[in-house]
Amino acid sequence: MNLEKVVFGFFVVLAATLNFGFFIGDISDPTLHNPYELFAAVVVNLIATVLKFGDRTQIGAVHLATSLVAVLQLVTASLAYGYAEYVSSAGMDAGWTASVVSLSAGALLANVVSVVLLVVETVSFHRG
């Protein structure tokens, strides 16, 4: 068993599950979307992205691209959350919540693509 691949797979799947945990729930109800879970999703996605550097294969490049998309959308969602909570006079209302959750949904899609790539890469691996 390759420990590097285990760690890589762990962070890819954890990134997707944390993002899913934040995303799930009524899109306009801010009480159902925990900001600490969003923060954890950002951090784990950043770690997963760093782990994807150095892979020189085509599938590695696609892995990195999906990670960069997820990080971009989650950081944007975090910035929107922070703006709504600490700057906007409206606070974290239904509109802001929908925007933040929609951005995390885009990141979730990128995470799902990354998990699918991981599974395809694992299934197609031939011992030689």
pLDDT tens digits, one per residue of 105-126 = 999 999 999 999 999 988 887 6
Q: Are 64 and 49 in contact (CB under 8 A)?
A: yes
Determine, yes or no, domain membership for 128. no
- Determine, yes or no, domain membership for 51: yes
In a domain, 85, yes or no: yes
pLDDT range class, residue 127, cuts 50, 70, 90? low
Buried/exposed 66-91: b ≥16 CB within 10 Å, e otherwise: bbebbbebbebbbebbeebeeeeeee
- In this predicted structure, the answer to whether residue 42 has a pLDDT above a threshold of 70 is yes
Distance CA 55, CA 67 (A): 13
* pTM for the structure as a whole: 0.92
Number of domains in the chain: 1
Domain carrying residue 19: 3-123
Can you tell me the distance from the alpha carbon of 41 to that of 33, in angstroms, rounded to the nearest whole number?
A: 12
